[in-house]
Amino acid sequence: MPGLIQKSGYIKPGNGGGHYAEYIATREGVELIEAPHHAHDGGGYLEYMAQRPRSHGLFSAGGSADLEKTMEEINGHTGPVWTFVYSLKREDAHRLGYENSKSWRRLLLAHQAELATAMKIPPSSFRWCAAFHDEKHHPHIHMMVWSADPKQGYLTEKGIENMRSQLSNEIFRDELLSLYQQKDLSYQQVRNQAAETMGRLIREMETGLCHSPTIAEQMETLAKMLEEHQGKKVYGYLKKPVKARVDAIVDELAKVPEVAECYEQWNQLRDELERYYKDSPREHLPLSQQKEFKAIKNMVIREAERLRLGTVTFEDVRVRDEADEDQDAVYFAWDSDWQMTEAYQSAKEVLEEYENPESEKAEQVQVLEQFWQRGFSLVAYQLGKCWRDGRGVLPDDHQAELWFRRAADAGYDFAQYALGKLLQSQKRTDEAVSWYGKAAAQGNSWAAYRLGKLYLEGEDVPKDVPKAVAYLTDSAEHGNQYAQYTLGKLYFTGQDVKQDRGRAWEYFCQSAEQGNEYAAFFLEHFDRVRRPNVFLSATRLLHHLGQIFRDNSVPPAAPVGQRVDRKLRRKIQEKKIAMGHKPDDHEEAPRQDMGGMTMGW
């Protein structure tokens, strides 16, 4: 692929910058630029001939530069002066029209604002001069850059690459466009295949279990190392040995088959993408050194800290705790005829089907509101879900609370539970506990489970283990698999309760029979698991990594665009949800001193 060659360096203050300007302006092969002159009378012309500037090839933003003044300004400059060489192959320069100083000056003028930004110099303070050398095989320019304010200017590796990219994209713009179009089909095929494979692997990561003795041992070691660490327990604040342990855990995670295959697919996709704008192949770094995945490091630290503190955990991320829809129909049938029940069920089906147009959903919201006006209180629960989830309306927590409260006041336990969840998400814990309690008193297992969690964690309410166990037991007796699993884990470990392996086995069995994979794991390893929290921390890391892969799984369409950051993605997702979509739709180190200046190329 044709390209622009860039070399860079800088000259320290008082280290001969003015002489370098003189050198590039007058060296052999430079394209000379005529200095502007004016008509004079006879005597004036003789004076002009005696004082006319030397012939040189230096140009700047204003046109032909005054060599003497430029040398004087650079020699008196108390800040650094950066030097660049931009070179093209002769055939490229000839084909694209870059065989004279005019074309190069136009290029630099068109992009001086971007060059200034890359060097962290305000455009108003950006100063530069250059000279074109018509060398046989590599026509090129020498460029010097400085800031009017000597305290300004800072160049990083990223800044250097941005400068080359800006100029290169302009020079090869038409040819690059054609190249991108030629490559686009093959890239899209690779992209689609990778997306399909990675999607499957990510789902396996997010739902799988990680039973790695090596990771377990390293997590326990890291937990002990964190006991001695003073200050923030985040990666950037850790000592080198602790960082090395974190990296080792991440790289051990990378050996999990699903992760290894997914990371390979991710690298292949990035390789294909970078073929658009780079000649040299990209380096395949270990997972711990790949910047897009650095978030997993702090997750490793967080899990190790939870392990050190013995924090109670709840493996219920994928919990489904909404009302059973058939049960809704029974409630509704108690105070309505079959025609009304059928209309109610039809409205719910339209609202819950993702593919249905928002206009149809909005109509069904109106139907439910009419039911409410006719005295059917149950519909208030469905209307609360509409406003909470954005079904046929834009999400509005205030409206959701209003409708949930109406159904809760009517005694409907799932509305009481939904209202409690909404209030808890708003940190209105006391109110949430009250509504959970009313729902639990009616046998709602999810409300009892939530109360058990709250009293066992002891974060938003005072910790009360007996009360927590009572609620969890009540929930478990009503068939809640998550309460059964939690009780099994408590009695298995003897954490906060008296150890009872017999009861633990019984609860694990009840939970596993309902498909709880964690409970099934404990049954399978009942006599071999010493510290289940270590296994659980490794499994959560696998799930975290799956989410990070999901965040980085789809690269921008070629040619490369700017990656959407996490906050913007969240805003986009919130907007999509508001429009009725499902939630799951699918600084650098400074340049090192080069020790002076580069004379020639």
For residue range 273-332, what is the model confidence (pLDDT) as tens digits?
776 556 677 889 999 999 888 999 999 999 899 888 877 788 877 666 655 444 554 455
Average of pLDDT values for 182-196? 68
Strand boundaries in 163-268, DSSP class E: none
- Low-confidence winner among 64-68, 102-106, 350-354 (lowest mean pLDDT): 350-354
Q: What confidence score (pLDDT) does residue 148 get?
A: 94
Q: pLDDT digits over 217-229, tens only?
A: 899 899 999 988 8
Closest-CA residue to 421 (of 352, 312, 322): 322
Examine the domain organization and report whether 124 and 231 are in the same domain.
no
Would you say 303 and 539 are in contact if contact means Cβ atoms under 8 Å apart?
no
Q: What DSSP character marks residue 29?
A: T
Examine the domain organization and report whether 91 and 42 are in the same domain.
yes
Average of pLDDT values for 439-468? 95
Examine the domain organization and report whether 303 and 336 are in the same domain.
no
Q: pLDDT digits over 13-25, tens only?
A: 888 888 999 999 9
> Is 367's pLDDT higher than 80?
yes
Examine the domain organization and report whether 152 and 231 are in the same domain.
no
Q: Is residue 595 assigned to a domain?
A: no
Reading phi first (left if > 0) and then psi (alpha if -120 to 50, else beta), residue 155 is in: beta
Residue-by-residue DSSP string for 76-137: T--S-EEEEEEE--HHHHHHHT-SSHHHHHHHHHHTHHHHHHHTT--GGGEEEEEEEE--SS
Examine the domain organization and report whether 150 and 207 are in the same domain.
no
> Is 594's pLDDT higher than 80?
no
CA 94 to CA 376: how far, in whole Å? 81
- Low-confidence winner among 26-30, 167-171, 272-276, 287-291 (lowest mean pLDDT): 272-276
Residue-by-residue DSSP string for 512-561: HTTT-HHHHHHHHTTTT-S-HHHHHHHHHHHHHHHHHHHHHSSPPPSSP-
Cα-based distances in Å from 179 to 68, 163, 184, 186: 45, 21, 8, 12
Would you say 407 and 380 are in contact if contact means Cβ atoms under 8 Å apart?
yes
CA 348 to CA 57: how far, in whole Å? 78
Examine the domain organization and report whether 17 and 162 are in the same domain.
yes
Query: How would residue 42 be classed by pLDDT, with cut points 50, 70 and 90?
Result: very low
Examine the domain organization and report whether 163 and 190 are in the same domain.
no
Examine the domain organization and report whether 162 and 187 are in the same domain.
no
Q: Is the pTM of this model over 0.75?
A: no
Q: What confidence score (pLDDT) does residue 559 get?
A: 45
Q: Is residue 47 assigned to a domain?
A: yes
In three state form, how does the secondary structure of 372-398 look? HHCCCCCHHHHHHHHHHHCCCCCCCHH
Q: How far from each other are the two terminal CA atoms of the chain, in whole angstroms?
A: 22
Average of pLDDT values for 259-281? 79
* Phi, psi (degrees; rounded to nearest 5) at 282: -75, 150
Examine the domain organization and report whether 129 and 47 are in the same domain.
yes
Q: Which two tokens stand for residue 362?
A: 């909005």
10 Å CB burial of residue 174 (0-12, 13-18, 19+) is exposed
> Is 421's pLDDT higher than 70?
yes
Query: How would residue 178 be classed by pLDDT, with cut points 50, 70 and 90?
Result: low
Q: Is residue 288 assigned to a domain?
A: yes
Q: What confidence score (pLDDT) does residue 84 get?
A: 96
Average of pLDDT values for 350-359? 87
From 171, 188, 211, give the residue that closes a domain: 171
Q: Is residue 600 assigned to a domain?
A: no
> Is 463's pLDDT higher than 70?
yes
Examine the domain organization and report whether 187 and 275 are in the same domain.
yes
> Is 596's pLDDT higher than 60?
no
In this structure, the dihedral spanned by the alpha carbons of residues 235, 236, 241 and 244, taken in order and rounded to 10 degrees, is 60
Q: Which residues pair with 6 in a beta bridge?
A: 86
Examine the domain organization and report whether 218 and 272 are in the same domain.
yes
Average of pLDDT values for 61-66? 89
**CA angle centred on 54, ends 53 and 57, rounded to 5°:** 110
Q: What confidence score (pLDDT) does residue 551 get?
A: 83
Q: Which residues contact 184 (CB under 8 A, 6 or more apart)?
A: 558
CA 199 to CA 549: how far, in whole Å? 9
Q: What DSSP character marks residue 270?
A: H
**CA angle centred on 554, ends 550 and 555, rounded to 5°:** 135
Query: How would residue 600 be classed by pLDDT, with cut points 50, 70 and 90?
Result: very low
Q: Is residue 36 assigned to a domain?
A: yes
Number of domains in the chain: 3
> Is 270's pLDDT higher than 90?
no
Q: Is residue 527 assigned to a domain?
A: no
In three state form, how does the secondary structure of 151-165 look? CCCCCEHHHHHHHHH
> Is 452's pLDDT higher than 90?
yes
Q: How many CB atoms lie within 10 A of CB 486?
A: 29
Q: Is residue 442 assigned to a domain?
A: yes
CA 517 to CA 496: how far, in whole Å? 23
Mean pLDDT of the chain: 82
Q: What confidence score (pLDDT) does residue 60 get?
A: 93
Beta-sheet strand order (sheet of 58-60): 5-11, 81-87, 140-147, 126-133, 58-60, 63-64
pLDDT above 90 covers a percentage of the chain that reads 47
Q: What confidence score (pLDDT) does residue 194 get?
A: 74
- Low-confidence winner among 191-205, 328-342, 460-474 (lowest mean pLDDT): 328-342
Closest-CA residue to 576 (of 425, 395, 396): 395
From 148, 171, 194, give the residue that closes a domain: 171
Q: What confidence score (pLDDT) does residue 529 get?
A: 58
More confident residue, 413 or 186: 413
Closest-CA residue to 308 (of 534, 540, 496, 543): 534
Q: What confidence score (pLDDT) does residue 550 get?
A: 84
Q: What confidence score (pLDDT) does residue 552 get?
A: 79
Q: What confidence score (pLDDT) does residue 577 get?
A: 53
> Is 113's pLDDT higher than 70?
yes
10 Å CB burial of residue 571 (0-12, 13-18, 19+) is exposed
Q: What confidence score (pLDDT) does residue 535 get?
A: 80
Coil/strand/helix, residue 205: helix
> Is 419's pLDDT higher than 50?
yes
> Is 85's pLDDT higher than 90?
yes
CA 405 to CA 416: how far, in whole Å? 7
Q: How many CB atoms lie within 10 A of CB 129?
A: 25
- Low-confidence winner among 43-52, 124-133, 201-210, 477-486 (lowest mean pLDDT): 43-52
More confident residue, 339 or 115: 115
* Phi, psi (degrees; rounded to nearest 5) at 374: -90, 5
Average of pLDDT values for 391-406? 94
Closest-CA residue to 164 (of 6, 1, 2, 3): 6
Its domain, for residue 409, covers 325-495
From 446, 480, 495, give the residue that closes a domain: 495
Q: pLDDT digits over 489-541, tens only?
A: 999 988 889 999 999 999 999 999 998 888 988 888 887 656 777 888 888 88
Average of pLDDT values for 402-421? 94
Q: Is residue 144 assigned to a domain?
A: yes
Q: At which residue do the structure tokens 């109509």 appear?
A: 363
Examine the domain organization and report whether 163 and 137 are in the same domain.
yes
